[in-house]
Amino acid sequence: MVVDHGCLMRMKKTITEISAQKRNRRRVNISLDGSYAFSLDRLTAAWLRVGQKLSDSEIEDLQTRDEVEVGFTQALNLLSRRGRSTAEMTRYLEGKGYAPATLKAVLARLQEEGLLDDDRFAREWIENRSTFRPRSLRLLKAELRFKGLDEPRIDSALVESEVCDADLAMAAARKQAHRYLSSDYEHFRNKLGSALLRRGFSYATVNDTLRTLWDEMQQTETVELN
C-alpha cells in the first residue's frame, strides 16, 4: 500500500491563533486555518504553538483530554466543600453529562492523587458526626449506605472508630441538655428523650443515658449550692 504523505499533510489543519478567553482566563480559543475551531483548558493547550499542524485524531485527543481536565476541575470544586464518596462523585459527574470514558478517567485521576478514598471518607464521616452531631450506629450506617458505601467498608470504619451507642447517646445528650433544663425529671426526660430517639437511639439506651445525665446534673447542682 502506498501512503500519500502529501495528502496526509493536506488533511492536517494549522493552528493560526491561540488566544485567551475574556470571560475565563483558564481557557484559550484555538483557531485552525484562520477560523475559530474550539477552546481548551490552558493546561491541555500548553504544548500547542501557532503554526503547528494537527490531524483529526490529534484534535479529537485534545478535546477528550480537555473534557477530562474540565471534569477534574469541577470535581475539585465539589471536594473543596467537603469530602465525597466515589458514588457521590460519580452521580455528580453523571449529572454534568460526562461520557462514561471521561467519567472513568476523572475518577481514576482523583483516586491516584488521593482525593477520592472511600475508606478515608467513611472514617472522616463517622468522626465528624460523632464530634459535632452524634447519632446512633444505626443511623450512621444508614447515612454511609446512602453515600454509596458497602457494608464491609462501613463495618470496618465503625470498628476502627471504636464508637458505641452508649457513648454517642451521652455525647448527643450533653450537647442538647441545656435546652431542656428543668427541675422536673419527667419534663427533662420527655423533651431530651424525644430528641435522642430522633437520633436513632433505642429506648433502653435513651433511658440509661437520661438517668445517668440527670444524676450528674443533680450532683453538680448540689455542689454549686454548697
The CATH number of residue 58's host domain is: 1.10.10.10
161 & 210 share domain: yes
157 & 107 share domain: no
Q: What percent of the chain has a predicted confidence (pLDDT) above 70? A: 92
The whole-angstrom separation of Cα 131 and Cα 34 is 60
Tally helices (H) and strands (E) across the chain. Answer: 10, 4
Query: Which residue, 60, 87, 112, sits at the end of a domain?
Result: 112
150 & 70 share domain: no
Q: What is the enclosing helix (H) or strand (E) of 149?
A: none
81 & 145 share domain: no
37 & 85 share domain: yes
- As for how many domains the chain has, the answer is 2
27 & 65 share domain: yes
Q: What is the pTM of this model?
A: 0.80
Query: Which residue, 112, 132, 152, sits at the end of a domain?
Result: 112
Cα separation values, 50 from 6, 17, 19, 66, Å:
21, 6, 10, 19
The whole-angstrom separation of Cα 214 and Cα 207 is 10
Tens-place pLDDT, residues 30-52: 999 999 999 998 888 898 999 99
The whole-angstrom separation of Cα 124 and Cα 141 is 13
Residue 173 counted as domain residue: yes
11 & 107 share domain: yes
Order of strands across the sheet that contains 53-54:
35-41, 27-32, 13-20, 53-54
Q: Domain limits at 181?
A: 118-221
Tens-place pLDDT, residues 48-86: 999 999 999 999 999 999 999 999 999 999 999 999 999
Identify whether the C-beta of residue 106 lies closer than 8 Å to the C-beta of residue 117.
no
132 & 52 share domain: no
Identify whether the C-beta of residue 126 lies closer than 8 Å to the C-beta of residue 137.
no
User: Mean pLDDT over residues 82-103, rounded?
Assistant: 95
